[in-house]
Amino acid sequence: MAKEKLSGAEIVVDELKNEGVEVAFGIPGGVLLDLYEVLYKEDAVRHILMRHEQCAAHAADGYARVSGKTGVCIATSGPGATNLVTGLANASMDSVPVVALTGQVPTSAIGSNAFQEASTFTITMPVTKYNFLVTRTKDLPKVIHNAFYIANTGRKGVVLIDLPKDVLATKAEVDLHPKETFAGYKPNIKPNQIQIKKAVEALVNAERPLILAGGGIISADAAEELRHLAEFLGAPVVTTLMGKGAIPEGHPFSLGMAGMHGRIYANRAINECDALLAVGTRFSDRLTGWQLDQFAPDATLIHVDIDAAEINKNVQVDIPIVGDVKLALADIIKWLEKKKRTAGTNENVWVQRIRKMHSACEECIKDVRREGTSQSDMLIKELNRILDDDTIITTEVGQCQMFAAHYYMTKKPRTFVTSGGLGTMGFGFPAAIGAKVAAPDKKVVDIAGDGSFLMTCQDLATCVESDIPVVVCIFDNRYLGMVRQWQELFFEKRYSQTGLGVTPDFVKLAEAFSCYGERVEKPEDLKDALHNAFESGKPAVIDMVVDKEDKILPMIPPGGGVIGMIGTERCTRI
Amino acid sequence: MHTHIISLLVEDHPGVLTRMSGMFTMRGINITSLTVSPCEKEGLSRMTVAIEGSESELEQVRKQLSNLIEVVKVVDLAEKKAIIRDLCLMKVHVKDSNARSTVMQLAESYGAKIVDATLDSLIIELTEEPKTIDRFLELMKHFGVKQSFRTGVTAIGIGAGVEK
């Protein structure tokens, strides 16, 4: 393309458009005036004004998880940038493609402790896949192209671009839309076929194969391949928290989520299998528990991941496969088909056992009034009955999140959005904003706790202002519930600093923002309240009163392993 | 626990050293020494990192280094297959002519150079493998080492070949 003389801000916006950016979540500031001037004139990039930078990052994160595209957030220098950090760390931990643009003081003032100066470049280095401090306007096209390329290829992640005020204001002659990338950045995409054949051999020879599906399945859009493989192989599928939606929960081969708050039979299956195909997962401690000798002790462990550094990091594996999981699964299926393996149709002992495990859990989840069921369980079970399969669920963090992860039946990829790695309270609501912007035709429901929601609820103003009608369902127990649960179980009910008192009135809070608010005292009233919320067309808050001491059980206690779950009394023995 | 030496080819960008050392801090790995210098390729620098750790820690480090955007190449230089050098400058106290001549003899036998001298001290330069320098420094302690400075290791694979 021919050389053009443009200001840095004009170059930034032009390159954003070239990268296909349709929306950015941000807050302006002094050093970003030039950029916002260009955004004011241009309507190609929609800007959503957030009320806190952390929410801007979470919204970009939620947008990316639902759309598969790279989310974009913008914050000013100093406090704007430092407020972004939690959101960037959150997206990084869950490998979500986000590009953050931050303003910076002029290059001549860097290091002088100027007004609203913070060393964003060094502060954000550990919470990004890569970051740039741009010092010359002419570098902008290459920087922005590489930022998007790095964020949304390989193991996806966060890239931050720090933009000093003078770099945005100065004009330069540049070649727009460059194609060149960094010599050192070459993601491993194509899986090694020798390893694939080894994996196929192990799977064919296994009597009790199991597939463990992580978030990598969803970020690589490989749910179709996963389902095909499971059916062809006759292997059940358990998921991680991030893998929820990789296979429709309810599918005969789906055993639901495994791990600390997973389903007992998902964990049992991991313990009993003799070949484990783990795909797009990093074996976090919340999945494996702490007694690794109980984690797939008899299994040939096959690990497929796009990041070579995840191989043998937490768990020693027998057959590593590094590459794009969609390609790897397609290759495995191709070689399996050559071997004409169709164990899925065989009525072997393992398939029968899986069928029993599957129905034991399904019955428990369908039966709303099951004995010993807590109000919180019942509410999620009600949501299963009320919401359609396309509804996007986001969650806050803590008990509400684990109730949702355990009981909510996710049917499709990219419809369950949660803070898996960082465990960020306050994530679900702004993520719901991003989700709704990405999928305006779908219902978006944030499953929240009263503790979490108060951390980011100011962005109800954003929802009203920008017409983003998401529904927040608060599990209102007036406690920091998960920590309280641990205090109850492991600290003899000494509730140190977990009680939240009696304020606020969430219905009035919603109304103060011109949102719809309703209180639900009994689970059976949730249906009408949700109906009213969706009908109102407004952002809505449903305050669901639950027992103060509801617990999410069963769970792997701290230090325990996958077969040492406590609180299993309610589970059917098989 | 072993000492491993990793040679890296990195793009010469601002912040690359921070990014590198930050990675080690994040992963809880201790760096024994780290050297950076320009190399034969324009726009690239060579880093030599010595770390202590188990084989599995080394595997993690190697992969995490490869993941860094600016790292073009990671080479693990097993000790026997590389020429490894460290440079030490030390200021040694010599109380009399007897001490002076002993120190000078020892320096000569280690291939060290006397680069400065006063009435009661010598500055000695020794370029050798780190272990040899350790031994020489131990010897010099008998006379009194006032100060010592080491550059940290740098290393190159043996033979005519170049690591790909």
The verdict on B92 and B34 lying in the same domain is no
Annotated catalytic sites of A, by residue?
Answer: 53, 115-116, 165, 482
Q: Which domains does chain A have, with CATH numbers?
A: 3-175 (3.40.50.970), 193-358 (3.40.50.1220), 367-545 (3.40.50.970)
Q: What is the pLDDT of residue A439?
A: 98
* Residue ending a domain, choose from B39, B60, B77: B77
The verdict on B63 and B90 lying in the same domain is no
The verdict on B107 and B139 lying in the same domain is yes
Q: How far is CA A7 from the centre of its chain?
A: 36
Average pLDDT over residues A73-90: 98
Residue numbers in B near A307 (CB within 8 A) = 67
Mutating which of B63, B64, B68 best tests the A interface, going by the most A Cβ atoms within 10 A? B63
**Domain-embedded: residue B89:** yes
A524-536 confidence digits (pLDDT tens): 999 999 999 999 9
**Domain-embedded: residue B25:** yes
Nearest CA in chain B to A154: B67
CB spacing of B22 vs A125 below 8 angstroms: yes
**Domain-embedded: residue B40:** yes
Least Cα distance to A63 among A397, A436, A466, A462 occurs for: A436
Which CATH number characterizes residue B119's domain?
3.30.70.1150
**Domain-embedded: residue B132:** yes
A268-285 confidence digits (pLDDT tens): 999 999 999 999 999 999
Sort residue A478 into left (φ over 0), alpha (ψ -120 to 50) or beta: left
Contacts of B138 (CB under 8 A, 6+ apart): none
CB spacing of B69 vs A308 below 8 angstroms: no
Domain count, chain B: 2
**Domain-embedded: residue B39:** yes
The verdict on B128 and B73 lying in the same domain is no
The verdict on B56 and B94 lying in the same domain is no
Least Cα distance to A64 among A414, A412, A448, A324 occurs for: A414
Q: What is the pLDDT of residue A571?
A: 78
The verdict on B62 and B116 lying in the same domain is no
Lowest mean per-residue pLDDT among A443-447, A490-494, B31-35 = B31-35
* Residue ending a domain, choose from B57, B77, B97: B77
Contacts of A194 (CB under 8 A, 6+ apart): none
**Domain-embedded: residue B164:** no
Classify A124 as helix, strand or coil: helix
The verdict on B96 and B125 lying in the same domain is yes
Mean pLDDT of chain A: 95
Q: From the CB of residue B161, how many other CB atoms can be counted at a distance below 10 Å?
A: 7
Six-digit token pair at A212?
């463990």
The residue range of the domain holding B11 is 2-77
Classify A299 as helix, strand or coil: coil
The verdict on B72 and B16 lying in the same domain is yes
The verdict on B90 and B136 lying in the same domain is yes
Average pLDDT over residues A156-169: 98
The residues with which A472 forms a beta bridge, in sequence order, are A446, A541
Tens-level pLDDT at each residue, chain B (164 residues): 778 899 999 999 888 999 998 999 888 888 989 999 999 999 999 999 999 888 888 899 999 999 999 999 999 887 668 999 999 999 999 999 999 999 999 999 999 999 999 999 999 999 999 999 999 999 999 999 999 999 999 999 998 877 65
Helices (runs of H) and strands (runs of E) counted in chain A: 22, 20
CB spacing of A312 vs B59 below 8 angstroms: yes
Cβ A509 vs Cβ A541: under 8 Å = yes
CB spacing of B63 vs A121 below 8 angstroms: no
Given a cut of 70, whether residue A400 has pLDDT beyond it is yes
* Distance in Å, alpha carbon of A309 to nearest chain B alpha carbon: 5
**Domain-embedded: residue B163:** no
CB spacing of B10 vs A126 below 8 angstroms: no
How far, in Å, are A187, A376, A411, A478, A571 from residue A489 at the CA level?
45, 18, 33, 18, 19
The verdict on B8 and B71 lying in the same domain is yes
Rounded Cα distance, A49 and A60, in Å: 12
Six-digit token pair at A77?
């220098």
The verdict on B129 and B87 lying in the same domain is yes
* Residue ending a domain, choose from B22, B52, B77: B77
Residue numbers in B near A183 (CB within 8 A) = 11, 72
**Domain-embedded: residue B159:** no
Which CATH number characterizes residue B54's domain?
3.30.70.260
The verdict on B102 and B57 lying in the same domain is no
Nearest CA in chain B to A187: B67
Number of CB pairs < 8 Å for A and B?
Answer: 43
Average pLDDT over residues A349-374: 83
Q: What is the pLDDT of residue A323?
A: 98
